Structure 1
Amino acid sequence: MKNLKNLSIISLIGILVFLLTTCSKPKTQVVKTATAKVISTSSVNTPENINALMRAMEIQQFKKKVVAPDFKLKNVNGKTVSLKDFRGKFILLNFMATWCMWCRKEMPHLQKLHNRFKDKDFAIIAVFSDRDGAQAIAFIKKSGYTFTKNSGTYNSGLLDPTSRVTMMYRVTGTPTTYLIDKSGNAFAVAQGYRDWSTKVSVTLIKNFINSN
C-alpha cells in the first residue's frame, strides 16, 4: 500500500511537469511595469502578489500541493543526506549537471540567492546527475560555490550518478527546479534556466521564506 501511495505521488508530479530538452534554454523572463508595481507592495504576502511574481518568472504552479517524495543521496563527503533533513526550510530543489551550459550559467545566481538568505529558513539542494561522480565532486570543490552547503550542517551538493532521484522527479532536462514549502510539499516547478538573483526572484523567495 505504501509503495502504491508513493507511486501515485510520483506519477502526479510527473503529470505536472512538462517535457524538457536535455539542457534547457532560458525562459524569457517578462519583468514589466506591472510587475514592478507588485514588487513595491509585495511586503504583504498575498496570493495576488505571489501569483504575479510567479508569472513574471514563468514558474508553473501546481493545481494543488503534493508531498515531495523523500530520497537519500550521498554528498561530496560521502555522507548520506535525505530531503527530510531540510524540513522546516523553504527549499529550491535544483536538478543540474556539471556538463550543462545553462546549469553553469545559473549557478552564480543561485550563489547570490544563497548569500542573501543563508541565515534564514532557506536551502538550495543541488542534485548533480553526472554519471561520473568523481568529476562532479571535483567540480563542486573547485568551483567555490557555497550554495551546495547549508549553514554548515548538511552539504546539499548531492550526487545522483544513476539518475534514480532525477527520474523519480520526472526530470527530462536540466536545470529543473522544484519549489518545496517548509512542510515538505512541492507546489511549483521552474523548467530551464532562471536568473534567481533578480529583484523579482529575491522578492518571491523572501515571501516564501517568511510564510508559515
Structure 2
Amino acid sequence: MHFRPKTLFTLMICFALTIFAWPAYSASKPITPADQEQINGLFKTLGIIKLAGIAPPIDIELEDLSGKMIRVSDFKGKIVFINFWATWCPDCRVEMPSMEKLFQRFKDRDFAMVAVNLRESPKKVSAFFKKYKLSFTALLDRKGRTALPFGIRSIPTTFILNQKGGLIGKVLGPREWESEAATILFELLIEDKAAPAT
C-alpha cells in the first residue's frame, strides 16, 4: 500500500499527537476499583480510620508563622494532610521528620500539609520548626478552639481531606509517613482526580 505525501504527513501528525497526549491522559485517569481496593488495604496497613468524605466540622482559619491568615478550604483541589500537635508532645517530635519527608516528596503535586499547633506561642513553634528543619505550613491555634469541633482527645491526630475538601481519613497517634505504604497511598490519592470517598 502506498500513501501520498500529504496523507503520510497527516498520519504522522496524528501519531505524534497520540503519543504526546497519552501521558496527560494517564496522569489524570479516574481511580479504578483495583486502585480503590489497594487504597482500602493501605488504610488498614497504616491504621487510618476511614471516613465518609463529609465536610470538616469547621473551616480552619488560623495564622501561620508569618502572621498571615490561612484557611484550609483554600487548599481545595488538593489532597490535604492536617496534623494536630504540640512541641511538648514526644510522639509529635518523633513523627514530624517523617511528615517533612512526605511533604518534600509531594509538595510540587496536588498536595498540601498543614500542622495545627495547639495552645503555644509563635516563638516556640518557630524555634521547633527551625530545629527540625520543617518547611510545611504551621498554623497557630493559641486557644485550642479547633480541637473540640474535630474531636481531638490526644495528639498527634491527623486528618486527610480529598480534593473536594471532604474528610476521608483519621489517624490517632504517630506514623512513619516516609514508609513505602504511605508513599503509595498518597500517590494513589493525588492521582485520583475524582477523589472518591467510598
Q: Under TM normalisation by the shorter chain, which class is it?
A: 0.7 to 0.9
Give 5+ residue unaligned stretches, structure 1.
1-42, 149-155
Deviation at 1:89, TM superposition (A): 0.8
The answer to whether the 8 Å contact 1:98/1:130 transfers is no
Structure 2 counterpart of 1:159, from 129, 132, 140:
140
| Residues 3-40 of structure 1 deviation map (CA, whole Å, 9 limit, x = unaligned) | xxxxxxxxxxxxxxxxxxxxxxxxxxxxxxxxxxxxxx
The one-letter amino acid of 1:89's match is K
The one-letter amino acid of 1:135's match is K
Q: Does 2:53 align with 1:65?
A: yes
Q: Work out the CA distance in 1 between the residues paired with 2:63 and 2:147.
A: 14
Please give the secondary structure, in 1, of the residue aligned with 2:114: strand
Structure 1 counterpart of 2:90, from 97, 101, 111:
101
Deviation at 1:142, TM superposition (A): 3.9
Q: Work out the CA distance in 1 between the residues paired with 2:186 and 2:54.
A: 19
Q: TM-score, normalising length from structure 2?
A: 0.77
Percent identity of paired positions between Structure 1 and Structure 2? 32
Equivalent residue for 2:157?
176
Please give the secondary structure, in 1, of the residue aligned with 2:146: helix
Give 5+ residue unaligned stretches, structure 2.
1-30, 194-198
Equivalent residue for 2:186?
205
Where in structure 1 do 4 or more consecutive aligned residues deviate above 4 Å? none
Equivalent residue for 1:6?
none
- Return the index of the structure with the highest Cα Rg: 2
The one-letter amino acid of 1:66's match is I
Please give the secondary structure, in 2, of the residue aligned with 1:166: coil
The one-letter amino acid of 2:172's match is Q
Q: Out of 178-187 and 122-131, give the one that drifted further.
A: 122-131
Deviation at 1:167, TM superposition (A): 2.0
| Residues 97-131 of structure 1 deviation map (CA, whole Å, 9 limit, x = unaligned) | 11111001001111111111111000111001133
Give the number of equivalent residue pairs. 161
The answer to whether the 8 Å contact 2:86/2:120 transfers is no
The answer to whether the 8 Å contact 1:130/1:136 transfers is no
The answer to whether the 8 Å contact 1:98/1:104 transfers is yes
Q: Work out the CA distance in 2 between the residues paired with 1:130 and 1:136.
A: 10
Q: TM-score, normalising length from structure 1?
A: 0.72
Q: How does 1:5-154 map to 2 (within 5 A)?
A: 46-62=35-51, 64-68=52-56, 69-146=58-135, 148=136
Q: Work out the CA distance in 2 between the residues paired with 1:121 and 1:140.
A: 23
Equivalent residue for 1:11?
none
